[in-house]
């Protein structure tokens, strides 16, 4: 059974600053997923507070919000069969040092020794998160 779902993908400020947006989009399209909507966003604190609400109060929260406000973000609505799971696999594990070769993070990201991991992309982790996050960004 084919179930088309949508997910939010964010190219984080480090990906935009390093001119990797095109390569990330290329990998999403090469996987066969559809780019439904794309926008360049200067995220404000309110949007990021809503996006990362489950992390409020954790030690990495403030550095994360500061990092996400440090430059433009490319927000992408991506559609496809099992796209949530598929994009997370394509992205690789959150830690770029251990992310598998062939993944976005494994090939293009690294640990810069900063207070928050700059790992190029975000992808929704469940259908519920995708619906909530897409409503915030689009």
Catalytic residues: 122
pTM: 0.95
User: What percent of the chain lies above the pLDDT cut of 90?
Assistant: 95
pLDDT digits (tens, 9 = 90+) for 100-137: 999 999 999 999 998 888 999 999 999 999 999 999 99
Give the tokens for residue 59.
């030690």
Using alpha carbons, list the distances in angstroms from residue 14 to 18, 73, 79, 122, 129. Answer: 6, 9, 24, 12, 23
Is the CATH number of domain 4-137 2.40.50.100?
A: no
Q: How do the domains of the chain map onto residue ranges?
A: 4-137
| pLDDT at 3 exceeding the cut of 90 | no
Strand (E) or helix (H) holding 73: strand 73-81
């Amino acid at each position: 059974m084919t179930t088309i779902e949508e997910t939010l993908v964010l190219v984080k400020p480090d990906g935009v600053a390093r001119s990797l947006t095109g390569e990330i989009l290329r990998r999403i399209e090469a996987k066969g997923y559809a780019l439904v909507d794309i926008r360049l966003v200067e995220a404000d604190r309110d949007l990021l507070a809503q996006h990362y609400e489950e992390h409020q109060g954790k030690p990495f929260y403030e550095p994360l919000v500061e990092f996400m406000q440090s430059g433009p973000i490319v927000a992408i609505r991506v559609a496809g069969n099992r796209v949530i799971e598929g994009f997370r696999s394509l992205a690789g594990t959150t830690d770029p040092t251990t992310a598998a070769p062939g993944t976005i993070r494994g090939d293009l990201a690294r640990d810069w020794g900063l207070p928050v991991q700059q790992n190029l992309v975000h992808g929704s982790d469940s259908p519920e998160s995708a619906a909530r996050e897409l409503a915030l960004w689009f």
